[in-house]
Chain A
């Protein structure tokens, strides 16, 4: 059975950042990234892993897919697997930083890089702003993408710079690992980002970035929307009994969510790849609280997602949104999730 200890990888002495304000590592996720090429939209800046970094990435990916060796019943296997996933995420991020917590940049340097334009880039909308009418109005799509999503992107870049991670967390796979780290352990004072304000900024804006990337890329004009294909249909039937029951559970969660947040259809890669509905508050991501959850479909129920057209009538928004879900994109994400968990 694999343990967390197997994945503490000591960086070579020459590059360990002792005495340096920052260590420079590439958080190599080449292996993980290769398994999820379309998971988060267009690739924004490919990592260029060194052989050592590639080894770190391969170990992290291997850890993420490790089985517990069939040591017990389903419940124990799930628990062990979640621990492995959480430990692997923490170890991969920590290893990439040379085992030290990320050092905040000196104030002068941070001010000089006041408005970083990278490493993350705002993905363009995959369709015209009015393409999802009448379900989602063009004004909402424009403000949602050009203002809210753009702000999350800019603030994520600023937060990574403040954390000294802008050279380390440079693609979606590494950002997902980091969010797993700051969202769960990080919230309790652990994690690789020491400063609580910077940690919150990464959690909120990094979450906003990945969540909106998924949201816009799993919708399509209604005319092009088709029902789920076989593989996903079977998974939904297995998880809920029928598509209609899944839709009802998802809708109920969406209308009942208090405040700002998201509703997700997730694959529980630590729980037999079962498909489930779950929710998160604000811009939290599902795998932060529960390692192994991979979202394949998400619905933004922050009021900004629907207020201009629907005002307080969130149920009407949810109902209309179903007509623009891109089940082909959801199915692709589902297949990538189970392939990477295999």
Chain B
């Protein structure tokens, strides 16, 4: 069993001017691709059998149970593969995305955070204050509540037993420097603010609905 790099759901320049096409290209064809290669190497190696047949999302939940010989590699590369596959799915080209939440998601955001604006402020703070490499997340916890968190490196909230606040992500933002440095350099807050313009709230709504019924966000994780 081996994972394939999922194709980007849009052209490399689709997220301009918020995320530049060179970054999208390198981010997808180099960084994400390397995670795919590396997680496949673990699957093919000794002790990789423990992961055989598991979906990529299921692998995230299993990380804490893995033997030390492969745990870190799966956490880093399996996490990286899940995170980036998810990341591409929550963004889209202006004109083809829902630019604000509606319905159930909107009311839940308002009841949890007060307003969309308040939620974004909290998210932005989490994203800007994650020191070093990592991600910011909007997730649903075991009680069905929305919460915001950040994780280091390629950890994600599905990694129970690893992260402080486990849950099911419905939205995520890569704040590794490779995600923004070519266009924004040190100006991470500017990147974060611009990124919101790429978020497709229809996808987030679907993710939210799935998470509330105990499911997972749906995105492409093709096998070779």
Contact = CB atoms under 8 A, between A and B. Distances in A.
A147 B186 contact: yes
B50 interface: no
Contacts of B181: 303-304, 307-308
Nearest to A140: B185
B189 to A, nearest CB: 12
A283 B131 CA distance: 9
A311 B133 contact: no
A282 B132 contact: yes
Contact of B30 (A260, A281, A312): A312
Interface residues of A, number: 20
A260 B132 CA distance: 5
A128 interface: no
A151 B186 contact: yes
Given A304-B177, A307-B181, A308-B181, A148 B152 contact: no
Contact of B177 (A151, A204, A281, A307): A307
Nearest to A284: B132
A258 B176 CA distance: 11
B26 interface: yes
Contacts, number: 52
B178 A303 contact: yes
Interface string A87-113: 000000000000000000000000000
A35 B146 CA distance: 55
B153 interface: yes
Contacts of A148: 186
A260 to B, nearest CB: 4
B178 A312 contact: yes
A283 B133 CA distance: 11
Interface string A135-155: 000000001000110010000
B186 A259 contact: no
Interface residues on B, range: 10 to 19
A302 interface: yes
B176 A308 contact: no
Contacts of B76: 258
Contacts of B209: none
B182 interface: yes
Interface in B181-220: 181-182, 185-186
Nearest to A143: B185
Contacts of B185: 143, 147, 304, 308
Contacts of A312: 26, 30-31, 34, 178
Interface string A253-271: 0000011110000000000
Given A148-B186, A151-B186, A258-B153, A204 B131 contact: yes
Interface in A302-322: 302-304, 307-308, 311-312
A26 B133 CA distance: 36
Interface in A180-202: 200
Nearest to B80: A258
Contact of B133 (A147, A260, A308): A260
Contacts of B26: 311-312
A282 B178 CA distance: 15
Contacts of A308: 181-182, 185
30 contacts: A143-B186, A147-B185, A151-B186, A200-B131, A204-B131, A258-B76, A258-B153, A259-B132, A259-B133, A259-B134, A259-B176, A260-B177, A281-B132, A283-B132, A302-B177, A303-B176, A303-B177, A303-B178, A303-B181, A304-B177, A304-B186, A307-B178, A307-B182, A308-B182, A308-B185, A311-B30, A311-B178, A311-B182, A312-B26, A312-B178
Interface of B: 26, 30-31, 34, 76, 131-134, 152-153, 176-178, 181-182, 185-186
Closest 3 CB pairs of A and B: A303-B177, A260-B132, A282-B132
Given A307-B182, A311-B182, A312-B30, 13 more contacts: A143-B185, A143-B186, A200-B131, A259-B134, A259-B153, A260-B132, A282-B131, A283-B131, A302-B132, A303-B177, A304-B177, A304-B186, A312-B26
